[in-house]
Amino acid sequence: MFIVGDASILAKRLIETTQKALYLGISMVKPGAKLGDIGHAIQTFTESRRYSIVREYCGHGIGRVFHEEPQVLHYGQPDTGTVLEKGMTFTIEPMINAGKRNVKVLPDDWTVVTKDRSLSAQFEHTLTVTDTGFEIFTVRADEAIEPTYISPELFKS
Protein backbone atom coordinates (compact mmCIF):
# COMPACT_ATOMS: atom_id res chain seq x y z
CA MET A 1 0.00 0.00 0.00
CA PHE A 2 1.43 3.33 -1.05
CA ILE A 3 0.00 6.85 -1.00
CA VAL A 4 0.35 8.69 -4.28
CA GLY A 5 -0.02 12.44 -3.97
CA ASP A 6 -1.87 14.05 -1.09
CA ALA A 7 -4.25 11.74 0.76
CA SER A 8 -7.25 12.96 2.71
CA ILE A 9 -7.39 12.58 6.48
CA LEU A 10 -10.04 9.85 5.98
CA ALA A 11 -7.73 7.96 3.61
CA LYS A 12 -4.75 8.26 5.96
CA ARG A 13 -6.79 6.96 8.90
CA LEU A 14 -8.10 4.04 6.85
CA ILE A 15 -4.58 3.15 5.71
CA GLU A 16 -3.20 3.37 9.26
CA THR A 17 -6.03 1.21 10.61
CA THR A 18 -5.53 -1.40 7.88
CA GLN A 19 -1.80 -1.64 8.54
CA LYS A 20 -2.34 -1.91 12.30
CA ALA A 21 -5.00 -4.58 11.72
CA LEU A 22 -2.47 -6.57 9.70
CA TYR A 23 0.14 -6.24 12.45
CA LEU A 24 -2.39 -7.23 15.09
CA GLY A 25 -3.33 -10.33 13.08
CA ILE A 26 0.34 -11.22 12.70
CA SER A 27 0.89 -10.81 16.44
CA MET A 28 -1.54 -13.70 17.02
CA VAL A 29 0.65 -16.16 15.08
CA LYS A 30 2.42 -18.81 17.16
CA PRO A 31 2.32 -22.59 17.48
CA GLY A 32 -0.94 -23.72 19.05
CA ALA A 33 -2.90 -20.60 18.07
CA LYS A 34 -5.77 -21.02 15.63
CA LEU A 35 -6.64 -19.26 12.39
CA GLY A 36 -9.79 -17.90 14.01
CA ASP A 37 -7.61 -16.01 16.51
CA ILE A 38 -6.05 -14.05 13.62
CA GLY A 39 -9.40 -13.19 12.04
CA HIS A 40 -11.00 -12.28 15.34
CA ALA A 41 -8.16 -9.92 16.27
CA ILE A 42 -8.37 -8.16 12.91
CA GLN A 43 -12.17 -7.94 12.99
CA THR A 44 -12.41 -6.69 16.56
CA PHE A 45 -9.85 -3.94 16.00
CA THR A 46 -11.21 -2.90 12.59
CA GLU A 47 -14.84 -2.75 13.64
CA SER A 48 -13.92 -0.83 16.81
CA ARG A 49 -12.69 1.87 14.41
CA ARG A 50 -16.03 1.73 12.52
CA TYR A 51 -14.60 0.20 9.34
CA SER A 52 -15.73 -2.96 7.55
CA ILE A 53 -13.83 -6.02 6.36
CA VAL A 54 -14.08 -7.38 2.83
CA ARG A 55 -15.07 -11.05 3.12
CA GLU A 56 -14.75 -12.14 -0.49
CA TYR A 57 -10.94 -12.19 -0.30
CA CYS A 58 -8.64 -13.66 2.31
CA GLY A 59 -5.10 -14.65 3.09
CA HIS A 60 -3.94 -18.07 1.99
CA GLY A 61 -1.38 -20.78 2.29
CA ILE A 62 1.90 -20.55 0.38
CA GLY A 63 3.24 -23.72 -1.16
CA ARG A 64 3.34 -25.44 -4.51
CA VAL A 65 0.20 -23.82 -5.95
CA PHE A 66 -1.11 -20.25 -6.00
CA HIS A 67 -3.59 -19.41 -3.21
CA GLU A 68 -3.65 -22.81 -1.56
CA GLU A 69 -5.17 -23.88 1.76
CA PRO A 70 -5.55 -22.82 4.42
CA GLN A 71 -7.75 -19.81 3.86
CA VAL A 72 -6.83 -17.10 6.34
CA LEU A 73 -10.01 -15.13 7.04
CA HIS A 74 -9.80 -11.59 8.39
CA TYR A 75 -12.89 -12.05 10.56
CA GLY A 76 -14.08 -14.82 12.79
CA GLN A 77 -14.24 -16.33 16.25
CA PRO A 78 -11.29 -16.94 18.55
CA ASP A 79 -10.18 -20.52 19.25
CA THR A 80 -11.66 -21.81 15.97
CA GLY A 81 -10.17 -23.16 12.76
CA THR A 82 -6.90 -24.81 11.91
CA VAL A 83 -4.28 -25.04 14.66
CA LEU A 84 -1.04 -23.28 13.68
CA GLU A 85 2.08 -25.44 13.60
CA LYS A 86 5.75 -24.63 13.11
CA GLY A 87 6.57 -24.41 9.41
CA MET A 88 3.12 -23.37 8.19
CA THR A 89 3.55 -20.53 5.68
CA PHE A 90 0.74 -18.21 4.65
CA THR A 91 -0.33 -14.65 3.94
CA ILE A 92 -2.40 -12.31 6.03
CA GLU A 93 -3.85 -9.54 3.84
CA PRO A 94 -6.85 -7.68 5.23
CA MET A 95 -8.88 -5.45 2.92
CA ILE A 96 -10.64 -2.79 4.96
CA ASN A 97 -13.37 -0.44 3.72
CA ALA A 98 -14.41 2.98 4.98
CA GLY A 99 -18.01 2.13 4.04
CA LYS A 100 -19.86 -1.15 3.77
CA ARG A 101 -17.98 -4.41 3.26
CA ASN A 102 -19.48 -5.27 -0.14
CA VAL A 103 -17.35 -5.26 -3.30
CA LYS A 104 -17.84 -5.95 -7.00
CA VAL A 105 -15.55 -7.01 -9.83
CA LEU A 106 -15.53 -4.70 -12.87
CA PRO A 107 -16.03 -6.02 -16.43
CA ASP A 108 -12.26 -6.47 -16.90
CA ASP A 109 -12.62 -9.44 -14.47
CA TRP A 110 -9.70 -8.11 -12.42
CA THR A 111 -10.45 -4.73 -10.88
CA VAL A 112 -12.35 -4.84 -7.56
CA VAL A 113 -14.18 -1.79 -6.21
CA THR A 114 -16.43 -1.19 -3.23
CA LYS A 115 -20.10 -1.30 -4.16
CA ASP A 116 -20.78 1.93 -2.29
CA ARG A 117 -17.68 3.57 -3.85
CA SER A 118 -16.11 4.08 -0.41
CA LEU A 119 -12.37 4.04 0.11
CA SER A 120 -10.61 0.72 0.65
CA ALA A 121 -7.10 -0.23 1.76
CA GLN A 122 -5.13 -3.46 1.84
CA PHE A 123 -1.84 -4.58 3.35
CA GLU A 124 -0.25 -8.00 3.02
CA HIS A 125 2.61 -9.97 4.48
CA THR A 126 3.84 -13.52 3.96
CA LEU A 127 5.04 -15.27 7.10
CA THR A 128 5.84 -18.60 8.64
CA VAL A 129 5.14 -20.05 12.06
CA THR A 130 8.34 -20.54 14.09
CA ASP A 131 9.03 -22.36 17.38
CA THR A 132 8.00 -19.32 19.39
CA GLY A 133 5.97 -17.10 17.06
CA PHE A 134 6.49 -16.00 13.49
CA GLU A 135 8.93 -14.73 10.91
CA ILE A 136 7.75 -12.24 8.27
CA PHE A 137 9.33 -12.78 4.84
CA THR A 138 8.04 -9.62 3.17
CA VAL A 139 9.06 -6.77 5.49
CA ARG A 140 10.14 -3.74 3.42
CA ALA A 141 13.40 -1.99 4.31
CA ASP A 142 11.44 1.19 5.16
CA GLU A 143 8.80 -0.60 7.23
CA ALA A 144 8.88 0.29 10.91
CA ILE A 145 8.38 -3.20 12.38
CA GLU A 146 10.75 -5.92 13.43
CA PRO A 147 10.22 -9.30 11.75
CA THR A 148 10.01 -11.17 15.07
CA TYR A 149 8.15 -8.74 17.33
CA ILE A 150 5.24 -6.37 17.03
CA SER A 151 4.89 -3.82 19.79
CA PRO A 152 1.54 -3.45 21.59
CA GLU A 153 2.21 0.31 21.38
CA LEU A 154 1.01 0.18 17.75
CA PHE A 155 -2.55 -0.34 18.89
CA LYS A 156 -2.97 2.43 21.45
CA SER A 157 -4.00 5.32 19.19
Question: 68-72 and 120-122: which strand pairing?
Answer: unpaired
What is the per-residue pLDDT for 53? 98
The answer as to whether 157 is a domain residue is no
pLDDT of residue 151: 52
Domain assignment present for residue 65? The answer is: yes
Number of domains in the chain: 1
Domain assignment of residue 89, yes or no: yes
Q: Is residue 118 part of a domain?
A: yes
- Low-confidence stretches of the chain (pLDDT < 70) are 144-157
pTM over 0.85? The answer is yes
- Tell me, yes or no, whether 147 lies in a domain: no
Cα dihedral sign, 86-140-60-54: positive
Q: What is the pLDDT at residue 58?
A: 97
Q: 114-156, pLDDT tens digit by residue?
A: 999 999 999 999 999 999 999 999 988 888 664 444 555 555 5
Whether 62 is covered by a domain: the verdict is yes
**Position 20 in a domain:** yes
Give the pLDDT of residue 1.
81
Could you tell me the CATH number of the domain that includes residue 94?
Answer: 3.90.230.10
Sheet-wide strand order for 125-129: 68-72, 59-61, 89-92, 125-129, 134-136
Q: Please indicate, yes or no, if residue 29 is contained in any of the structural domains.
A: yes
Parent domain of 77: 9-141
